[in-house]
């Protein structure tokens, strides 16, 4: 079966918070990231198509839409925010799973 993903996903284990349009906040774990989105684990009562704000500790806020939903996991498409930063920070972690965003310079896109 061909892989539908257009770019590689990098494994991470970052802490974050999802905030809904009605200001409900839920703790989450970011599990992997790509240039366009991220996979998170969260016990939030959310639906496909919901728009949320994902805040990743140490990185900032990202507007996102839920594009995939599984058992306690959500696939998010990043709509706004420094989306290229997500993958760059994960790449800086090397081959091990990143437990927190770390950069190698002041500009994570370099």
Q: Is residue 54 part of a domain?
A: yes
CATH of the domain at 59: 2.40.10.220
User: Taking all residues of the chain, what is their mean pLDDT, rounded to a whole number?
Assistant: 78
Q: Is residue 34 part of a domain?
A: yes
Taking only the tens place, the pLDDT of each residue in 39-91 is 999 998 899 999 999 998 888 888 999 999 988 899 999 887 764 566 666 66
Burial class (CB in 10 A: 0-12, 13-18, 19+), 5: exposed
Q: Is the pLDDT score of 105 beyond 60?
A: no
Q: What is the pTM of this model?
A: 0.73
The residues facing 75 across adjacent strands are 39, 68
Q: What is the pLDDT of residue 64?
A: 92
Q: Is residue 33 part of a domain?
A: yes
* Domain range for 43: 14-91
Taking only the tens place, the pLDDT of each residue in 12-35 is 899 999 999 999 999 999 998 887
Count structural domains, the chain: 1
């Amino acid at each position: 079966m061909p892989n539908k993903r257009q770019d590689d996903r990098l494994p991470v284990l970052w802490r974050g918070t999802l905030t809904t349009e009605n200001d409900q906040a839920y703790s989450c774990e970011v599990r992997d990231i790509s240039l366009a989105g991220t996979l998170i684990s969260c016990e939030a009562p959310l639906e496909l198509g919901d728009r949320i704000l994902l805040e990743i500790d140490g990185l900032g806020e990202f507007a996102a839409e839920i594009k995939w939903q599984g058992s306690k996991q959500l696939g998010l498409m990043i709509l706004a925010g420094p989306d290229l930063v997500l993958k760059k920070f994960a790449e800086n972690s090397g081959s091990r799973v990143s437990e927190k965003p770390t950069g190698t310079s002041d500009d994570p896109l370099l």
